[in-house]
Amino acid sequence: MPTVAKTDPSTMTTAGGQTHRAKGNQRRSPVSIHVMQVALFIGILTAWQITSTFSLVPPYILGEPIGVARQLYVWLVTGKVYPHIAVTLLETVLAFVIGLVLGIGMGLLLGLNVTLAKLFDPYLKAFNAMPRVVLVPIFIVWFGLGIWSKVALGITLVFFIVFFNVFQGVRDVNPVVLANARMLGASRRQLLTRVYLPSATGWVFSSLHASVGMAFAGAVIGEYMGSARGLGYLILQAESVFDINAVFAGMVLLTIFAVILDWIVSSFEKRLVKWKPE
* pLDDT tens-place string over residues 75-88: 999 888 999 999 99
Domain range annotation of the chain:
27-57, 76-272
Contacts of 231 (CB under 8 A, 6+ apart): 81, 84, 85, 88, 220, 223, 250, 253, 254
Range among 26-35, 173-182, 189-198, 239-248 with highest mean pLDDT value = 239-248
Per-residue CA distances from 21 to 11, 29, 33, 148, 223 (Å): 4, 16, 20, 59, 55
| Run of H or E residues at 19 | strand 19-21
The number of CA neighbours under 13 Å toward the Cβ of 231 is 27
Higher-confidence position of 193 and 46: 46
Predicted local confidence at residue 16, as pLDDT: 47
Predicted local confidence at residue 17, as pLDDT: 47
pLDDT(278) > 70: no
Closest to 84 (Cα-Cα) out of 235, 201, 190, 252: 235
H helices present in 15-135, as ranges: 30-53, 59-62, 65-78, 82-112, 114-129
Predicted local confidence at residue 2, as pLDDT: 47
pLDDT(5) > 50: no
Predicted local confidence at residue 152, as pLDDT: 92
Is 85 in contact with 253 (CB distance < 8 Å)? Answer: yes
Higher-confidence position of 245 and 29: 245
Predicted local confidence at residue 45, as pLDDT: 84
Burial 51-69 (b: 16+ CB within 10 A, else e): ebeeeeeeeeeebbbebbe
CA distance 1 to 80: 82
Q: What is the CATH T-level fold of the domain 76-272, as seen in this structure?
A: MetI-like fold (1.10.3720)
Provide the whole-model pTM.
0.76
Average pLDDT over residues 240-248: 87
CA distance 192 to 206: 20
Q: What confidence tens digit (pLDDT) does each residue in 197-238 have?
A: 777 777 777 778 888 888 888 888 888 887 888 888 888 888
Per-residue CA distances from 111 to 105, 171, 209 (Å): 10, 6, 22
Predicted local confidence at residue 269, as pLDDT: 72
Average pLDDT over residues 163-175: 79
pLDDT band at residue 30 under the 50/70/90 scheme: confident
Q: What is the mean pLDDT of the chain?
A: 80
